[in-house]
Amino acid sequence: MKRHLLHTLGNNIRAERFRMGYTQEELAEKSGFHRTYIGDVEKGVKNITVNNCLIIAKALSLPLSDLIRKAEISLLTPGSGDPKNEVQSEG
């Protein structure tokens, strides 16, 4: 689940970066991180800290809660790609 969460969060950061029209290099400059770090976060290979996530969210002009909420919704939505994370209905 941890890897899937990181991958989902990274995808959300990438989508928001695209929405803002930023390249990885531009987001790196705005956040103070190296471009390769941004790429690794977007690919879900870096275990990003909450503090670094906050910095990236600010660089994207978003509240941190938006990035976290979008990742959480993706993980809890049936068909999100990882059957272990799907909520099973009782019945």
Task: Write the pLDDT tens digit of every residue in 10-26.
Answer: 999 999 999 999 999 99
Average pLDDT (55-61) is: 97
Q: What is the pLDDT of residue 74?
A: 86
Residue 86: which pLDDT band, with cuts at 50, 70 and 90? very low
Q: Is the pTM of this model over 0.85?
A: no
The structural domains of the chain, ordered by start, are 2-79 (1.10.260.40)
Alpha helices in 21-86 (DSSP H): 24-31, 35-43, 50-59, 64-76
Residue 31 and residue 55 in contact, taking contact as beta carbons nearer than 8 Å: yes
Element (H, E) at 19: helix 2-20
CA torsion sign for 32, 37, 43, 44 is: negative
